[in-house]
A and B are shown apart, each in its own frame.
Chain A
Amino acid sequence: MRNLDKILAIVWKDLLTEVRSRELVVGMLVFAMLTIVTFNFAFDLTGIERAPSGAGALWVAFIFASLLGLGRAVAMERDKGSFDGLLLVPVDRGMIYLGKLLGNVIFISAVQLVTIPVFGALFDLPVYQPMLFLILFLGTLGIAGLGTLFSIMAASTRAREVMLPVLLFPLALPVVISTVRATTLVLTDRTEALMQWINLLAAFDVIFLTISFLVFDRVVED
């Protein structure tokens, strides 16, 4: 219970900071929108391939926006040295990971909630489906799960902007594949193979959140 309150305190702090400074979500949102609009020129979005191309465009947009946001979130915390302040707190450092993760999930989800209706309108696809929101949540959890860990690692490397995508892209590939496939299936209303992908996504989330939680202490120590 005490740990839960501390996790929530970190989330509260991050949300309040973001509400006041608006440094993350607005930038991520504009970036995601621009990516989707740009993809409009790269793919033929009138034909039968609209759903798979659209699903791909959507997730590329979310992943790039997440990279932007994750990197920025840690940079803000590290630059002012306040990450050390967090490490001085009497709590299992895994809880700090969970707090930061939850904040990142909320930020990315906020971007998604605004992007999805726009995406649905631009690509003329049926986006208002509960299954799609489950996929969005699981995919976001996976990307943010590894992303939170790697963004903190990348922040103390030289070339930090390079290291985050170099680590996150190959290792989070299963999330990308399964979310894109699952999204395509939902958007084309083919649900037979859907559960297979959702299970893979859920398994990925469980495995990588657990590992990240366990190794976090070793990552943040000096």
Chain B
Amino acid sequence: MTKPQSPPETEEQSPVARIRATGLTKRYVMRTVLRGVDLEVDAGEAVVLFGANGAGKTTLLRVLSTLTRPQKGSLEINGLDSEAEAITVRGQLGVLAHQPYVYDSLTARENLQFFSRMFEVPDADDRIQRVLGDVELLERADDQVGTFSRGMLQRIALARSILHRPSILLFDEPDTGLDVASVKVLERILNEHCADGGALLMTTHDLEFGIRVASRVLVMDGGRIALDRDANEIVPAEVESIMGAPGA
């Protein structure tokens, strides 16, 4: 391991939950969306990513989730190279994106059954019952997802993303469409995940919610990470100024 970028921490190499990205660059035709992003997220950390629209948050999460391939840079998930060992890596990631990634004509339970087969979840039935309870969808478990409201869709998507007990959660605006009670559910799930030694990287537009969940805060601007700070030391105004004060 001769990475010049990595800090001189020596008690590393634990196989548990960590993201290690260096120099991630993603170019599209009209602009460069990621411009050399270095990022480390360790076990137990809850990293919240802020940034204006177009700052590159969603692209960063897509790259980390192996959906989008960067032109440059390297990405290790739990010590595995994300490209050479993509299949194993995918099994350790829980991804929640803008689309819920569920099938309208299947019921909530059938959707989870499908994904538990794809992720080889042991004791699938118990686990499905459990996560449906976690996201408070047990009463609607056997209804087709197409009949769900936006908030319920977001909760079934949440259930799908944690179904296979991933060690790393990559959540893109998980709080959108959720009512106050559901945000509480989400927050509890996130806290438990990190308390169990999992890692979390999440974006949100809700500054207050984000800072409440975070142990560390990142702010992206123009495809780079512009601010990286411990959550205790964060000043909301500073985040807002980088994001461009709305209405200013």
Interface residues of A (CB under 8 A from B): 2, 5-6, 9-10, 12-13, 16-17, 20-21, 80-82, 84-92, 221-222
For residue B116, give the distance in angstroms from its CB to the closest CB of chain A. Answer: 9
7 pairs of residues in contact across A and B, judged by CB atoms under 8 Å: A10-B118, A82-B103, A85-B102, A88-B65, A88-B66, A90-B89, A91-B87
B27 on interface, CB distance cutoff 8 Å: no
Chain B residues lying within 8 Å of A89, measured Cβ to Cβ, are: 90, 115, 118-119
B114 on interface, CB distance cutoff 8 Å: yes
| Count class of interface residues, chain B | 20 to 34
B73 on interface, CB distance cutoff 8 Å: no
For residue A19, give the distance in angstroms from its CB to the closest CB of chain B. Answer: 8
Chain A residues lying within 8 Å of B101, measured Cβ to Cβ, are: 80-82, 84-85, 88
Known A9-B117, A13-B103; further 13 A-B contacts with Cβ < 8 A: A16-B106, A80-B99, A80-B100, A80-B102, A82-B101, A85-B101, A85-B115, A88-B93, A88-B101, A90-B118, A90-B120, A92-B87, A222-B62
A contact patch SS = helix
B130 on interface, CB distance cutoff 8 Å: no
Identify the closest chain B residue to A87 (Cβ): B67
User: Is there contact, CB below 8 Å, between B103 and A90?
Assistant: no
Chain B residues lying within 8 Å of A222, measured Cβ to Cβ, are: 62, 67-69
What's the Cα separation between A2 and B67 when bound, in Å?
22
Identify the closest chain B residue to A22 (Cβ): B105
Interface residues of B (CB under 8 A from A): 62, 65-69, 87-91, 93, 95, 97-106, 110, 114-115, 117-120, 144, 160
Identify the closest chain B residue to A19 (Cβ): B105
User: Is there contact, CB below 8 Å, between A16 and B90?
Assistant: no
For residue A161, give the distance in angstroms from its CB to the closest CB of chain B. Answer: 22
What's the Cα separation between A6 and B98 when bound, in Å?
25
Chain A residues lying within 8 Å of B115, measured Cβ to Cβ, are: 85, 89
User: Is there contact, CB below 8 Å, between A13 and B99?
Assistant: no
User: Is there contact, CB below 8 Å, between B117 and A221?
Assistant: no
Chain B residues lying within 8 Å of A13, measured Cβ to Cβ, are: 103, 106, 114
